[in-house]
Chains A and B, each alone.
Chain A
Amino acid sequence: MGIIDLNGLEVRLANRVVLNGLTGELQGNAIGLLGPNGAGKSTLINTLLGFHLPFAGTARVFGLDSHRDRAEIRGKIGYMPENDSFIGNMSGVRFVRYMAELAGLPSEVALERAHEALFYVGLGEVRYRKVNTYSLGMKQLVKLAQALAHGPRLLILDEPTNGLDPVARQRMIQLIKDIRKEGSIRLLISSHLLRDIDETCDEVLILKGGRIAALCNIEAERRSNRSFVELETVGATERFSVSIRGLGCEVATFPGGRIKLVIPDNIEARDLYVIASEQGVQIRRMNQRRDSLEDIFLRAMDNQMEGVGHGRL
């Protein structure tokens, strides 16, 4: 059983199908939720929180039904919404304490953990200031602090780097990495920024048009995809191509000594240099690249266009 199980989940808002038959099992420590605007990322999060009643199918969080057991689920979740959402005329520490008490912490414990959470996210020095005097970055951090204060098992972050400058963004990413490294908390991070997901997540769910375009383990996906190498060579290019084809590489040669090849996992760049040396070929430039999350995302978008409804890549 995964952290989140989706079984034919269909959600309609105002008679419009927003999520269409999502099926999958999310089990990573940090799950990225990717998709273009309007793909249904926020609707999926709201459904997991029990804000929307599924029209068909089910969504389960820790094995609990997202609608029937929503109170129990919410007790295990920390949620950082995308948009501004706070009580502006409260001080930071009072706001976080209030949220922790609502999550079920006794009053004194909630106060203690509110202080700790605010220090943890870097707002310790401004915790007695009213939240509506905070900058945008600070407001993002106070939302993260309230999501953390009660010690949830799953932290849902909806666009956590939204509107942050590069320094604040880096700080937020580092915090997310720290939380992930600590290990007691699972993360579900929704973003339309591939880089954020790439840096923080080990699994990704890509949505498009309310359907699952891809659900995969990022690292495994990268490993399973082939490595592309571009070479610029001087010398007996044709003979060199034949030799490296003999290693099991797929090779294409181009005028000017340019070679493009796909190398299998058991072959390394060093092997190419050895053959080149034996045959007196100079390798002037080597450009090696593996699949980035962007490749995975773009491929998922293409696959979805071709009618792949759901499932793993």
Chain B
Amino acid sequence: MAVYKRNYTAYTGQVTSPSARVLVLARYAFAEAWSSKITVGLFIFCLVPCLISLFGIYLANNPMARALVGAGGSQMIAVDARFFLKILQGQCWLALFLASWIAPRLISFDLSDNALPILLSHPISRVGYLTGKFIALFTCLSAVTWVPCLLLFVYQGYTSPQPWMAANLRIAAGLLAGTVIWITLLSFLGLALSSWVKWRAVATGIIFAAVFVPAGVGAIVSAVLRTKWGYLLNLPLTMETLWRRLLGVQYEMNPMLSLPTGAIVASLVFICIVCLGMLDKRIRAREVVRG
């Protein structure tokens, strides 16, 4: 079908594998996410704490640099599990901002323009469609969470005068597990909520609300029923607890707020299942009118 001929001919060449088509979806979703200057701005903003931490590690391991900034020979910063916990917490909460901006861009455009019938009429399943979108969002969030965290860990291992890395591998594992759990949850939550709201601005607000409003509800439930299980609805608290335990940071906590790790994991899995249920209801080529 050469342009100048303006005539139709069938395609007889090779076709790509089904898995490659999931990556096509991911590639276009990724491009859509990064087509906005706000995404670029948010991404840079999310990396600022990492740059500050990088400078902190440099100072902690370089007496000459400390002298230059006037700190003499004192140990300004202790680069340990607590230090990385703070980085982890900062990056994870910044990732929430990025997720709440990007996730609606990946789904809402398709829904507001009713693109699903056309998209799903191609050899791609609903699972494939969601996997493609998930990969794009997960990759974006990875770039501000576990990737910079692990790079900082490696840099600390490289600059530390003592053998540090091998003795602190648990921190690396904790960083990886903690961030991956969080961004997986954010990705499911972001996609599920965006699929139910056509307006992107509203979807962004709802993603924030979904994280913080249940925390208030959970506190009320716990206070009224005099139980600690209401705090399972408090996502900031449960994630904070999980991150501390993953990195092995010792801390003293009000026994009322101390939740078993198993219960926390179960609540996170439950949230993911609810999100998948929401996506299953919404991501369809056709709406079936009831009644």
Q: Which residues of A contact B (CB under 8 A)?
A: 13-14, 46, 49, 51-52, 71-72, 74-75, 77, 79, 81, 83-89, 98-99, 101-106, 109, 113, 115-117, 119-120, 124, 132, 143, 146, 148, 150-151, 153, 178-179, 182, 184-185
Contacts and interface: CB of A to CB of B under 8 A. Distances in A.
A83 B1 contact: no
A49 B121 contact: yes
3 smallest beta-carbon distances between A and B, as pairs: A151-B11, A104-B15, A79-B121
B22 to A, nearest CB: 10
Contacts of A98: 24, 28
B118 A99 contact: yes
A44 B195 CA distance: 27
A75 B122 CA distance: 6
A71 B125 contact: yes
Contact of B2 (A77, A116, A132, A185): A116
B18 A71 contact: yes
B78 interface: no
Contacts of B16: 101, 104-106
Interface of B: 1-3, 6-16, 18, 21, 24-25, 28, 109-110, 112-125, 284-286, 288-291
A307 B42 CA distance: 66
A105 B112 CA distance: 26
24 contacts: A13-B288, A14-B288, A52-B286, A74-B124, A75-B122, A75-B123, A81-B118, A81-B121, A83-B114, A84-B113, A84-B114, A87-B113, A87-B115, A99-B118, A101-B21, A102-B124, A106-B14, A106-B16, A120-B6, A120-B8, A178-B7, A179-B8, A182-B9, A184-B10
A124 B5 CA distance: 12
Given A88-B109, A102-B123, A151-B11, 19 more contacts: A13-B288, A51-B286, A75-B15, A81-B117, A81-B121, A83-B114, A83-B117, A85-B113, A99-B122, A102-B119, A105-B13, A105-B15, A113-B1, A119-B3, A146-B118, A148-B8, A151-B12, A178-B7, A184-B9
A128 B10 CA distance: 24
A106 B24 CA distance: 10
B289 A14 contact: yes
